[in-house]
Amino acid sequence: MIAIYPGSFDPITLGHLDIIERGCKLFDQVIVAVVLNPNKTPLFTVQERLEQIRLATPHLSNLEIDCFEGLTVNYARIRGASVLLRGLRVLSDFELELQMAHTNKTLATEIETVFLATSNEYSFLSSSVVKEVARFGGSIDHLVPQHVALDIYRCYAKTQPGLTQTTDRVSQKNLPSTSRDS
């Protein structure tokens, strides 16, 4: 059974990775699909986000990483997926996700939405929280993979010189050589 885990993943967080890893245990194949949303102004390009996800998930043999534009159910049909995988953190997520699941069901009755409750340690975590903490100079090392933290620190260091100390601190860590070449 193929499951699609759609999202903007701008950036991918440890909460996202938790859902991806757990989904890979439940389904034959999981496709992490970066959604191109024209209503959002992302921090990273689609190609950068795809690469960040690839670098964070080499240990998952039944995972594919892709991107798409348009309706998720149409993409799921094209890929032969019968499940949309979604993570739930808080009650407000449930309300929005349930509305989306019902809408998707009216568009594609053959596709089910499966919700995974986020692990407790990530229940507060979102890409928006990560970006806000980093933008104001806080540490995000415990919220995202190391290579993603470095990418984010570099991004904000370009616009806010005061963050270069944080960037220097992270770049001293033992990171894979591919992430230092970004």
- Percent of the chain residues topping a pLDDT of 90: 76
Question: Residues annotated in the binding site, as ranges?
Answer: 8-9, 16, 40, 72, 86-89, 97, 122-128
Return d(Cα 137, Cα 133) in angstroms, integer.
6
Indicate left, alpha or beta for 79 from its phi (over 0: left) and psi (-120 to 50: alpha): alpha
Active site residue 89: yes
Domains with residue ranges and CATH for the chain = 2-123 (3.40.50.620)
pLDDT at 93: 83
Return d(Cα 179, Cα 158) in angstroms, integer.
17
Nearest to 71 by CA among 26, 4, 12, 24: 4
Active site residue 16: yes
Q: Report CA Rg, the chain.
A: 17
pLDDT tens for 61-115 read 999 999 999 999 999 999 999 999 999 988 878 999 999 999 999 999 999 999 9
Set 22, 77, 89, 154: catalytic member: 89
Active site residue 40: yes
Question: Residues annotated in the binding site for ATP, as ranges?
Answer: 8-9, 16, 87-89, 97, 122-128
Considering the entire predicted model, what is its pTM? Answer: 0.84
Q: Which two tokens stand for residue 157?
A: 């260091």
What are the percentages of helix, strand and coil residues in the chain, rounded to 5? 50, 15, 35
pLDDT at 159: 56
Helix ranges (H only) for the chain are 14-26, 46-56, 72-79, 91-107, 127-135, 146-159, 164-171, 177-180
